[in-house]
Structure 1
Amino acid sequence: MPKKVFFTTGVGRHKEMLESFEMALRDAGIEKFNLVTVSSILPPGCIIVERSEGLKELVPGEIVFTVMSRNSSNEPSRRIAAAIGCAIPADSQADFGYLSEHHSYGESEECAGKYAGELAREMFYTWKNEYPLRISYAARSAEVDEDGNWATVLAAAVFIL
C-alpha cells in the first residue's frame, strides 16, 4: 500500500515524439524509474509530500506506480495540457480519496488543472455521496513551436511504497 505520494509535471520538446516524452519525464524528474500506470485511488493514510522529498526515497530502475496524464502534438501553435486532480477526504487516515487524469487541447494550465480537480471532486461525490474536504491539482501546458516539433506535457501523482 502506498504510504506517500507526490505530484510532478513536465514538458518536453523534440523532433521525435518518443524523445519529447522522455524530455517531459526528465523535466518532471521521473525519467529514471520504470513507471507503471494505475487507476485513480488515493489510498487511506497516504501522505502528500513535496516532489524533492519523494524523489529522495526512490532508486533509479525501481518500479514505481503512478497516475499519469499526458498529451502530445506536433501541430504548429497547438496548445496542449495535462493535469491530475486530487480529492482528499475529511478523514484521510481512514478513507480513500480520488485522483483524476485530464488532458486537453487549447486549455491553459489553470483551466486544465481546475477541471481535473473538479473531476476528482465529482468522482469522490458519486462514490461517497458527500464532497471531499479539499481538492487540488497539478497541471502543465505548452504550445507546439512553429516548426512542428513534438511537444509533450505530463502531470503525475507518483506513489512511494
Structure 2
Amino acid sequence: MFGAERFCLVRGTAEGGTELNAFDNALLDAGIGDLNLIKVSSIIPPGCRREESLPKFPKGAFVPVVCVAHLGKVPGDTVAAALAVGIGPEGFGVVMEAKAARGSEAEELAREMVKEAFKVRDLKLTKLWALSAEHRVKRTGCALVACVYW
C-alpha cells in the first residue's frame, strides 16, 4: 500500500488553443506538466508533512494529486480554482476543491468545505491552508491548483 509522507500545494494559469491545451499549459505553469498525475480522493494520511516546494520528479513519474481546474472560453471572464487543506491533531487531513469567478471566493468556499468535513467526522481542525489561482481569459484559459503527494 502506498503512503505519502509529504504534500505540496501548487498553482498554475495559462491560455491554450483548446481547453485541453490550456489545462496542459496550466499544469506546466504549476510545475507538474511533465508528470503522470494519478487522481486521488481528498484525504491526507496521518503524518504527511506540508512542503513549500516540489522535489525534482523524473519526467513521466506517476504522482498522486488532488487537482481542481476551472476552464473558460469567454474573453474577459475570470476563472479561479482553489484548494483548502485542513489537518487535525493526529495529523489526519482533508483537502477540498472549489471553483469560482475570483480566487478569494474559491478559497473561502474550499475553507468552508474543509470545516464541514471536519465537523461531520467529529474532528478538531488545528491547521488550515488555502491556495487559489485566478486567470482572466483571453481566448481559452485555465486556472488550476493541485495538492501533490510523494
Q: TM-score range by the shorter chain?
A: over 0.9
Q: Deviations over 1:101-150 (max 9, x none)?
A: 1122x2x21221122122112112211x24300211111011112xxx10
Deviation, 1:99, is 0.4
Is residue 97 from structure 1 mapped to residue 93 from structure 2 by the alignment? yes
**In 2, Cα distance between the equivalents of 1:5 and 1:130?**
21
For the 8 Å contact 1:98–1:121, the answer to whether it is kept is: no
Alignment-mate amino acid for residue 139 of structure 1: S
Distance in 1 separating the partners of 2:64 and 2:9: 12
- What's the RMSD between the two structures over aligned residues? 1.2
Q: How does 1:69-84 map to 2 (within 5 A)?
A: 69-84=68-83
1:8-87 to 2 correspondence within 5 Å?
8-51=10-53, 54-56=54-56, 58-87=57-86
Deviations 1:16-42 (A, max 9, x none): 211111110011000110001111101
Distance 1:71 1:18 in 2: 12
> In the comparison of the two structures, how many residue pairs are matched?
148
Q: 8 Å contact 2:103–2:133 — kept in the other structure?
A: yes
TM-score (norm 2): 0.93
2:6 is matched with which residue? 4
Number of the residue aligned with 2:128: 135
Whichever residue aligns with residue 136 of structure 2, its letter is E
Aligned to 1:155: 145
Which structure 1 segments of 5+ residues have no match? none
Q: Which amino acid aligns with 1:14?
A: G
What is the identity, as a one-letter code, of the residue corresponding to 2:113?
Answer: L
SS in 2 for 1:55: coil
Q: Give 3-state SS (helix, strand or coil) of 1:7's partner.
A: strand
Structure 2 contact 88–123 (Cα < 8 Å) conserved: no
1:91 to partner: Cα distance: 2.5
Which ranges in structure 2 are unaligned for 5 or more consecutive residues? none
What are the Cα deviations for residues 86-109 of structure 1, in whole angstroms up to 9, with x where unaligned? 1111231xxx110001122x2x21
SS across alignment from 2:104: helix
Identity of matched residues, %: 28
Structure 1 ranges of 4+ moved more than 4 A: none
TM-score by length of 1: 0.87
Query: Take 2:55 and 2:76, find their aligned partners in 1: how far apart are those partners?
Result: 33
AA of the residue aligned to 1:2: A
